[in-house]
Chain A
Amino acid sequence: MNNRLKRIIAGGIIFAATMILKTDNELLELALYLISYIIVGGDVVLKAIKNILKGKVFDENFLMSVATIGAFFIGEYPEGVAVMLFYLVGETFQSYAVDKSRKSIASLMDIRPDYANVKRGDELVKTDPDEVKIGDIIVIKAGEKIPLDGKVIEGNSMVDTSALTGESVPREITAGSDILSGCININGVITAEVTKEFGESTVSKILDLVENASSKKSNSEQFITKFARYYTPVVVIIAAILAIVPPLVIEGATFSDWVYRALAFLVVSCPCALVVSIPLSFFGGIGGASRTGILVKGSNYLEALAQTEIVVFDKTGTLTKGVFNVQEVHAEGISKEELLELTAYAESYSNHPISLSLKRAYDKDIDNGHISDVEEISGHGVNAIVDGKKVSAGNFRLMEKMDIPYYKGELIGTVVHVAVDNVYAGYIIIADEVKADSAQAIRDLKEANIKQTVMLTGDTKNVGTKVARDLGLDKVYAELLPGDKVEKLEELFSQKSAKGKLAFVGDGINDAPVLARADIGIAMGGLGSDAAIEAADIVIMTDEPSKIATAIKISQKTLKIAHQNIGFSLSVKAVVLVLSALGLATLWEAVFADVGVTIIAVLNAFRALNVKKI
């Protein structure tokens, strides 16, 4: 690479000097041009010869050698050198750009920890994360990367998760918190017990995912490589015909004129500019997305995302927090506090989310000595004796079964009716909270031209409808069993156009079949959830549904860049081909069509990496 640059400079100087200081001595002129040609392009010609001996024709070295040597033969010395010179400038620039892009993505993903401080007796031993075992005790000092997933035993600190999530607000951790590898410990010293081996740790999973992304190729890339396969031979054949046929057929046509036109064809026939700019664009888009905490598992998914027409959401854990909280306590005949206390006690034996939220709302220790005769009635609720009182807590079916009149008005959320000694004592409403950015997420999707937003939920109709109305979703299907979700998805498939895509957004925990069935499966909250990372095509590391619109916008931008590059390179090449066939374009234009287009396309591809203002 450095060598190539030196040759370009040295050859370039001799070439420029020869052109400027015109000499009348033709032989000297030819000698000087030849010297600069050999300095610049000797390597290319050598490679071309080697390749031909190996049975490989039509490669770039061959095309460029033929074109430039041909130029010398018909007496166009400056063009011969110039074409070779610019070709190499283009190559140098291209490999610099590719290298830079590879490095910038690698630095983006510079989350691999180098070592772990493992506690062995009283000593701390710097160990390769690969060799640390589950149960080992590690110490993470301020400023260090967390090497393996674990649980904090001692210490308080803030951790920076931005390398994984794009989220700049640090997380607070204390004893008992789970810590994830790849995050950076900002201030305190923490001691933690390792819970996962390195290969299973978050950082390994993410690196694996990113490194293997884009092995699934986009349609644009497949199109362009296929195109290149035919383009080069076709152009070369036309060049051969141009050089031979017209001088024989057309009166007064000279070989040197038509050979010159054919040489221009050879220069334009190189396909690399086209081929390199497409993967470069997608690579940039995927890299840019990962910087904002959106992991895309392949160029094909990034491409499909731009064609999304319908976005289907799961409700719980996706648009809502998935954390149930007591929203309202309505007591009849007893105080609110008493109602909550009795209900929390009665439900205290269960681990159901509803019981947990009651316990959380009660927020005092529950003394098991006060409870006896707990009887759970599946699908109804629970009966228990609390401090000598018979407490019945459950849904309306329990009240009906026990013949207790209860409040029948419309209530939104999960309602726990309570009776004390067979007398109705009121109800408690428990509901899931909508995430802060859910409404914004739906608005952003509309702005990104998504035709339909749909929510699927296993929750009741009135809860589903309320959430959908609050967020501005187009459609909601409620009271679905897990199996029904796939069925609904099939129904929605028929509502999109043939080219349009359907994306499903879930938390990856129990919606794997739906994630798999959708054109694009998007999982939320990927950080720390292996299930989400494995099941989905696109993983959003944070819990923010608004990132879906961001992902779609990145995808649309990337695709636009890729299409611009295809359109631009093909049309410039086509125009130059026609002009050279007509004898209107010189080798200079042909070189521009090859090198200039490469440089412009590569620079354009670089824009895909910039996702800050999306």
Chain B
Amino acid sequence: MKKTFRLEGLECANCAAKMEKAINELDGVKEATVNFMTTKLVIEGEDEKMPVIIEATEKIVKKIESDVVMKKA
């Protein structure tokens, strides 16, 4: 399953890279990309683990850049 989100307020490119790395390390994630320029986050992961993945992702995003709001695209 592929889910796309918009990371509103993403201002720091290095943070985007950190988020991408952390999300990729989550259990059940096949591939995650954070595109700093388009502020898009695409997560490809196992269907049944997706709700857990999304929850964990929200925490990662908040931890790395607290001003960023993760919205469904």
Tell me the A residues contacting B by CB distance below 8 Å.
Answer: 47, 50-51, 54-56, 59-60, 91, 94-95, 98, 101-102, 105, 211-212, 214-217, 225, 228-229, 271-272, 275-276, 279-280, 282-283
| Interface 1/0 per residue, B57-73 and A, CB below 8 Å | 00000011010000000
Q: How far is the CA of A105 from the CA of B38 in the complex (A)?
A: 9
Residue ID in chain B nearest A95 by CB atoms: B11
Is B17 in contact with A275, judged by CB distance below 8 angstroms? Answer: yes
Is A228 in contact with B14, judged by CB distance below 8 angstroms? Answer: yes
Of B13, B14, B35, B64, which one neighbours A214 at CB under 8 angstroms?
A: B35
Q: Is B24 located at the chain interface by the 8 A CB criterion?
A: no
CB distance from B69 to the nearest CB of A (A): 15
Q: Is B49 located at the chain interface by the 8 A CB criterion?
A: no
Is B38 in contact with A272, judged by CB distance below 8 angstroms? Answer: no
Is A60 in contact with B17, judged by CB distance below 8 angstroms? Answer: no
Is A50 in contact with B37, judged by CB distance below 8 angstroms? Answer: no
Given known contacts A229-B21, A272-B13, what 6 new A-B pairs fall within 8 Å (CB)? A56-B64, A105-B37, A215-B33, A215-B42, A229-B17, A282-B37
Q: Is B36 located at the chain interface by the 8 A CB criterion?
A: yes
Residues on A with beta carbons closer than 8 Å to the beta carbon of B11:
91, 94-95, 98
Residue ID in chain A nearest B21 by CB atoms: A229
Of A59, A212, A276, which one neighbours B36 at CB under 8 angstroms?
A: A276
Is A214 in contact with B12, judged by CB distance below 8 angstroms? Answer: no
Residues on B with beta carbons closer than 8 Å to the beta carbon of A229:
17, 21
Return the 3 tightest CB-CB contacts between A and B, nearest first: A225-B17, A276-B13, A283-B37
* Contact (A214, B37) CB under 8 Å given A98-B11, A228-B14, A272-B12: yes
CB distance from B52 to the nearest CB of A (A): 20
Of A51, A59, A94, A280, which one neighbours B37 at CB under 8 angstroms?
A: A280
Could you pull out 21 A-B pairs where Cβ atoms are within 8 angstroms? A51-B66, A56-B63, A56-B64, A95-B11, A102-B37, A102-B39, A105-B37, A214-B37, A215-B35, A215-B38, A215-B40, A215-B42, A225-B17, A228-B14, A272-B14, A275-B13, A275-B14, A276-B12, A276-B14, A283-B37, A283-B38
Residue ID in chain A nearest B64 by CB atoms: A56
Residues on A with beta carbons closer than 8 Å to the beta carbon of B39:
102
Residue ID in chain B nearest A210 by CB atoms: B38
Residue ID in chain B nearest A213 by CB atoms: B38
* Contact (A279, B13) CB under 8 Å given A56-B63, A217-B33: yes
Residue ID in chain B nearest A105 by CB atoms: B37
Residues on A with beta carbons closer than 8 Å to the beta carbon of B13:
272, 275-276, 279
CB distance from B60 to the nearest CB of A (A): 11
Is A225 in contact with B14, judged by CB distance below 8 angstroms? Answer: yes
Residues on A with beta carbons closer than 8 Å to the beta carbon of B66:
47, 50-51
Q: How far is the CA of A228 from the CA of B39 in the complex (A)?
A: 20
CB distance from B10 to the nearest CB of A (A): 9
Is B37 in contact with A101, judged by CB distance below 8 angstroms? Answer: yes
Is A54 in contact with B42, judged by CB distance below 8 angstroms? Answer: no
Is B37 in contact with A211, judged by CB distance below 8 angstroms? Answer: no
Residue ID in chain A nearest B42 by CB atoms: A215
Q: How far is the CA of A50 from the CA of B67 in the complex (A)?
A: 12
Residues on A with beta carbons closer than 8 Å to the beta carbon of B12:
60, 272, 276
Residues on B with beta carbons closer than 8 Å to the beta carbon of A215:
33, 35, 38, 40, 42
| Interface 1/0 per residue, B21-52 and A, CB below 8 Å | 10000000000010111111010000000000
| Interface 1/0 per residue, B1-22 and A, CB below 8 Å | 0000000000111110100010
CB distance from B25 to the nearest CB of A (A): 13
Q: How far is the CA of A60 from the CA of B33 in the complex (A)?
A: 22
Q: How far is the CA of A105 from the CA of B40 in the complex (A)?
A: 15
Residues on A with beta carbons closer than 8 Å to the beta carbon of B36:
98, 276, 279
Residue ID in chain A nearest B73 by CB atoms: A211
Residue ID in chain B nearest A271 by CB atoms: B14
Residues on B with beta carbons closer than 8 Å to the beta carbon of A283:
37-38
Residue ID in chain A nearest B20 by CB atoms: A225
Is A211 in contact with B33, judged by CB distance below 8 angstroms? Answer: no
Residue ID in chain A nearest B18 by CB atoms: A229
Interface-centre pick from B12, B15, B33, B63 (highest chain A CB count, 10 A)? B12
Is B14 in contact with A211, judged by CB distance below 8 angstroms? Answer: no
Q: How far is the CA of A272 from the CA of B12 in the complex (A)?
A: 7
Q: How far is the CA of A211 from the CA of B66 in the complex (A)?
A: 25
Residues on A with beta carbons closer than 8 Å to the beta carbon of B38:
102, 211-212, 214-215, 283
Q: How far is the CA of A47 from the CA of B64 in the complex (A)?
A: 11
Q: How far is the CA of A94 from the CA of B66 in the complex (A)?
A: 18
Q: How far is the CA of A245 from the CA of B58 in the complex (A)?
A: 41
Residue ID in chain B nearest A283 by CB atoms: B37
Q: How far is the CA of A275 from the CA of B36 in the complex (A)?
A: 10
Residues on B with beta carbons closer than 8 Å to the beta carbon of A228:
14, 17
Q: How far is the CA of A546 from the CA of B36 in the complex (A)?
A: 32
CB distance from B57 to the nearest CB of A (A): 16
CB distance from B61 to the nearest CB of A (A): 12
Is A211 in contact with B63, judged by CB distance below 8 angstroms? Answer: no
Residues on A with beta carbons closer than 8 Å to the beta carbon of B35:
214-215, 279
Residues on A with beta carbons closer than 8 Å to the beta carbon of B33:
215-217
Residues on B with beta carbons closer than 8 Å to the beta carbon of A276:
12-14, 36
Residue ID in chain B nearest A50 by CB atoms: B66
Q: How far is the CA of A56 from the CA of B42 in the complex (A)?
A: 24
CB distance from A480 to the nearest CB of B (A): 36
CB distance from B39 to the nearest CB of A (A): 8
